[in-house]
Amino acid sequence: MTITGANHFTFSDQMFTKSPLLMFALRRAGVMGPLEKRRGLAITSACVHTFFDVSLKGASAEEMDSLPFQYPALKMGVASAFPQQQAPQ
């Protein structure tokens, strides 16, 4: 799973607990992604909840496939954590 516009801080409540001034500075420095903090938390919560429903409660695996329809920023599939960059020609 990949969430477009997300980064490390998006997956926790750090966006809410850290100083707004610090968050502003990180966003201006390009460290923060453009994903709105409440939206990032909603997507993360839905993914974790659905994962446990499928894994522990026996819900249909198709529930995982339906998440990108609810959250267009969510991309399903396998992606490298460190994509290789091509050298300029």
pLDDT digits (tens, 9 = 90+) for 9-51: 666 666 777 788 887 887 788 777 778 878 888 998 999 999 9
Residue 68 falls inside a structural domain: yes
pLDDT digits (tens, 9 = 90+) for 43-89: 989 999 999 999 999 999 899 989 999 999 998 876 666 666 555 56
Residue 48 falls inside a structural domain: yes
User: 62 to each of 8, 53, 68, 73, how far by Cα in Å?
Assistant: 27, 11, 11, 18
| pTM, to two decimals | 0.69
Residue 81 falls inside a structural domain: no
Residue 57 falls inside a structural domain: yes
16 membership: H or E segment, kind and range: helix 14-17
Q: Which domain holds residue 47?
A: 2-75
Question: How many folded domains does the chain comprise?
Answer: 1
Residue 24 falls inside a structural domain: yes
